[in-house]
Structure 1
Amino acid sequence: MRGSFGFSISILFLVTLFCATASSEDRFREKRQAGTTLRKWANNIVYYYWTEDFPQFNIDLVNRVLKDIIEQSTCITFIFNSTARNRVKIFQDLTIPYCETSHYGCKGGEQTIRMGYDCKTDGQLMRAAMGCLAFYSMETRYDRNTYLAVNSKSVDPSKLSSLNTINSTYSTNPLPYNYGSCLHRGYDEYAYIGSTDYPIISTAQEYYLTMGSGIISSYDLNVINKFYYCNSSCPNNQIVCQNSGHLNTRSCASCNCPLSYAGTNCNTIPSDGGSQVTATTSWQTLTITVTGSASIASPGAYTTKTYWIVKPAMYNYVQIEYVSFNGSYTYCQPGCKYFGLEVKYKADQELTCPRVCCSAFDESYISSNLSITRIVAYTSTISVTFVLRYKANSTWFVQTPPPEVFVPPTTTSPCGVCNTSGVAIVPNNPSAGIHEFDSPPMQCTNEQGCGTLTFSCSGISANIGVSYTIFQTFARHCKSRLFSYPLNLKFIIALIRYSETSKIDKIIGQD
């Protein structure tokens, strides 16, 4: 049954007032603990470094988020320095799934950001980086219960305490609650094999795929600028930002614009291949294809395609129908991290509207009373196509779907290729080059319970020290899978020993 919605957001956003000092092992428990001393980074400078074995994919992601996005839009400066007194060590940890910060705010000394095997998008790393800057997850705000329902029986018991709210004594909310902020975790991060329903669900249910965003918004940059009083670095500012944009405190001469806007003042359509169209009383079809240049396994920077739909002055609304979605990856990903579509029909353009990234919203309708309704498709991975219809209308009409039936995480992948047998296929010739988990690539992904990784054989120590860790992680999360591995003799022996734990049934050789 489809239901209508209307949603007003008026309460403010959570920023920690104090610096947490829990250990990395307590990364979930610490979210409900507040320190007693405010610890921002001195002079708004964050020192960081990564280890020598840090993969190039991770380096590119860190540089993009810290240097190209945060630093270029705020007064926060990131300096690579492994010996600074207060610093952040960033390293890969394939024993965890997501991006995790060890401490909130500047604890003093060394703290860490760990990048797990599914820490792959800008927004995921952004949340960990904002933790270092003293921001807690959105869902711990003291006004959380207005916007989010917690089904404690379906929350991973090890993470339940992380959903405790932080009261107003220890926090302040300078911006409204935003489901699409990078600070909001998706429901998948709280689910476990024992979940029977969504662990967390938005009270405005059409937002259930929006939580857990992978794309960084002007909202996230704005809250940093507010908390660190960055506007004081632009004392002679004369820029007037439009359409809910906010001052770029790095340049002091332009604005950080919400998604679907561009220009110095956020008053022009982005030059991304889209265009402006005008609604009439007849249905018109809008086909939006956004081109991706990466993969689900290895996302890159986001690209967009934006359309503006003009409402004729004599009509009250533009009515929009979601017709269809087409892409090689059809799973309804929490957070629409890899690609998605957003129709911006809310008055506050900085707040995220419901996003869709699959066929769940097909044959649904929304109405917008804005003079111009912005629509943006985005991707950091593959090319996808969204088909919409739109027309001018004098009557308000909304019909959106409820969340899909919840499917709990499982060690049995829904992808047929992952269910072949409990066999580790070991190449007889490790020097042959690159091999992959599962085939075809990307048919099975982490969100569906099975991972896709690609790596090459680069010596005994790397195979045993790095590849073995990767194997342990994915064997634990993808039992009875088909693994293809570039291995040497010592590593094969290690695998044989590991197979005795019943994570895999047997090991065979393959060229």
Structure 2
Amino acid sequence: MKFQTLDKSNLIKIREKIHTLKNKIVAKLTLTPEQKAALAKRLKELVTIKKDHVSPKGDSIEEVNARSHIGDVLYQSDMVLTTEQADELVAEEEGRPKRQAFRDRRYPQTLWSSGVAYFFHPNATPEVKSVFKKGAAWWSKDTCIDFFESAQAKDRIRVFKEDGCWSYVGRLGNQQDLSLGDGCESVGTAAHEIGHALGMFHTHSRHDRDSFITLNTHNIKPDWLDQFKKETTATNENYGITYDYGSIMHYGAQSATMNRKPTMVPHDTNYIETLGSPFISFYELLMMNKHYGCLDRCKSTPNRCKMGGFPHPRDCSKCICPRGYGGQFCDQKPDKCGSILQASATYQTLEDLVGDRNAGQSPREDYHTCTYWIVAPEGKKVEVKFVNFSRGIAVDGCVYGGVEIKTHPDPRMTGYR
């Protein structure tokens, strides 16, 4: 069955329009002597893991789209820009800012204020349907955004299996497309592309990214340098929410690498394996709730949530909690496997088996999570030492399994992986 999809000729024109600004964009990526010195120091501190090649189709959105060549005509590998959005990008780079990454001049028309209607094209496989529905549920269950299946709704998303993983940004009006092609059949990838459809750009293009990561341009594919364009304070609205290395909208540390070495180095190098996360972070949920005005539903409800949680817009008597916390008010361990452990003056041994050891290299639709709280006596600190663990599959973001340690003073932040 043939059907009309992307107008690649128009996308090539848009890509060429942005490409004309390459020299300006690349010039802005040049590091100062101080930044170069800081990067050199971090690279010496960096503990790198040799990454595995798992899927011949690619182990990340960027790789999948590069191998299918669809990434050559998209913005930052997986976003389809309209002509208007491309013009605004050019205007911004030329010093005539018009756009905000979340709130452009069409806002709030870009919101799916009546819910997100979607339908599946006949070529959508059972795997595509499953991961899309689960990715939509990830966003829906902790926001006020509803998803419903309808091919007749005026504004709707057509989900299909085209070349690569990609989406338009925000609600355009009428029908728009979202592709989950070969190599894109994971819930994390689906949730990432749905994030774009809801209006999110990439975290690593935030205006304040240089305070959190440094681009190692020597490792970036030359044709990809201008794709690391950064937003400005005039064009990027983050609702006062800090940068989170565990954002599902953040590409992995080796994104667009030409030598299997990091292209993005976090200032706290312990976060190197966290980049490229397959999970929606707490701060992303908070940002999406603010963007869609969901928090207004609980304005009259006192916030009794602990650990930085906030009232759930679907039930203000409950809380949306940071990862690792649960209960009605985020003051309990989540009701899943794991336990509360008491630290002592001598090492204790914890041995655990999580997930399905036979899952292997198959894409993850669901994750099995165990949470352990390690509590130390007042005035003492907890020390954790990894003695031995089974060899897992090493790709950016630990998407096939891993351990996360939360040590940040802000309990809302994603931990080290």
TM interval, shorter chain, is: 0.7 to 0.9
Q: Distance in 1 between matches of 2:114 and 2:224?
A: 31
Matched, 1:78 2:126: no
Q: AA paired with 2:413?
A: L
Alpha-carbon shift at residue 294 of structure 1 (Å) = 4.4
TM-score between both structures, scaled by the size of structure 1: 0.60
1:334-413 equivalences in 2 (<5 Å): 334-355=396-417
The residue that corresponds to 1:323 in the other structure is 387
Matched-pair contact (CA < 8 Å) for 2:116–2:147: yes
Matched-pair contact (CA < 8 Å) for 1:288–1:305: no
Q: Distance in 2 between matches of 1:196 and 1:79?
A: 41
Deviations 1:298-324 (A, max 9, x none): 3121211111111112x4311111222
Decide which of 190, 209, 216 is 1:144's aligned counterpart.
209
1:415-426 equivalences in 2 (<5 Å): none
Cα distance, 1:247–1:227 mapped onto 2, change above 3 Å: same
The structure in which a higher percent of residues are helix is 2
Alpha-carbon shift at residue 278 of structure 1 (Å) = 0.8
Q: Distance in 2 between matches of 1:321 and 1:229?
A: 43
The residue that corresponds to 1:40 in the other structure is 110
Q: Distance in 1 between matches of 2:202 and 2:112?
A: 23
Matched, 1:312 2:377: yes
Q: Secondary structure at the match of 1:65?
A: helix
Deviations 1:3-39 (A, max 9, x none): 599xxxxxxxxxxxxxxxxx99433375983454324
Equivalent residue pairs, number: 328
Matched-pair contact (CA < 8 Å) for 2:166–2:180: yes
Matched, 1:240 2:309: no
The residue that corresponds to 1:58 in the other structure is 128
Q: AA paired with 1:287?
A: E
Q: AA paired with 1:57?
A: E
Alpha-carbon shift at residue 243 of structure 1 (Å) = 1.3
Decide which of 181, 189, 194 is 2:247's aligned counterpart.
181
Kindly report the root-mean-square deviation, in angstroms, between the aligned alpha carbons of the 2 structures. Answer: 2.6
The residue that corresponds to 1:378 in the other structure is none
Q: Distance in 2 between matches of 1:242 and 1:52?
A: 46
The residue that corresponds to 1:370 in the other structure is none
Decide which of 226, 229, 253 is 1:164's aligned counterpart.
229
Q: AA paired with 1:183?
A: M
Q: Distance in 2 between matches of 1:2 and 1:317?
A: 27
Q: Distance in 2 between matches of 1:59 and 1:196?
A: 32
Q: Secondary structure at the match of 1:127?
A: helix
Matched-pair contact (CA < 8 Å) for 2:303–2:310: no
Q: Distance in 2 between matches of 1:70 and 1:197?
A: 32
The residue that corresponds to 2:76 in the other structure is 28
Deviations 1:247-306 (A, max 9, x none): 221222311222211111111112322111111111111123212384532312121111
The residue that corresponds to 1:118 in the other structure is 183
Decide which of 283, 286, 292 is 1:228's aligned counterpart.
292
Q: Secondary structure at the match of 1:139?
A: helix
Structure with higher RCO (Cα < 8 A, 6+ apart) = 2
Matched-pair contact (CA < 8 Å) for 1:121–1:337: no
Deviations 1:143-191 (A, max 9, x none): 1111111122422344332211111111122211000011111134322
Alpha-carbon shift at residue 84 of structure 1 (Å) = 2.2
The residue that corresponds to 1:263 in the other structure is 327
The residue that corresponds to 1:429 in the other structure is none
Matched-pair contact (CA < 8 Å) for 1:248–1:256: yes
Q: Secondary structure at the match of 2:113?
A: helix
Q: Distance in 1 between matches of 2:373 and 2:339?
A: 6
Cα distance, 1:159–1:50 mapped onto 2, change above 3 Å: farther
Larger Rg: 1
Q: Distance in 2 between matches of 1:197 and 1:176?
A: 27
Unmatched 5+ stretches in structure 1: 6-22, 356-511
The residue that corresponds to 1:420 in the other structure is none
Q: Distance in 2 between matches of 1:158 and 1:49?
A: 35
Q: Secondary structure at the match of 1:71?
A: helix
Alpha-carbon shift at residue 90 of structure 1 (Å) = 1.4
Q: Secondary structure at the match of 2:116?
A: strand
Alpha-carbon shift at residue 44 of structure 1 (Å) = 4.5
The residue that corresponds to 1:374 in the other structure is none
Alpha-carbon shift at residue 132 of structure 1 (Å) = 1.2
The residue that corresponds to 1:128 in the other structure is 193
The structure in which a higher percent of residues are strand is 1
TM-score between both structures, scaled by the size of structure 2: 0.72
The residue that corresponds to 1:297 in the other structure is 362
Matched-pair contact (CA < 8 Å) for 1:121–1:215: no
Matched-pair contact (CA < 8 Å) for 1:239–1:253: no
Matched-pair contact (CA < 8 Å) for 1:46–1:78: yes
Cα distance, 1:157–1:48 mapped onto 2, change above 3 Å: farther
The residue that corresponds to 2:119 in the other structure is 49
Q: Distance in 1 between matches of 2:415 and 2:341?
A: 20
Q: AA paired with 1:310?
A: V
Q: AA paired with 2:364?
A: P
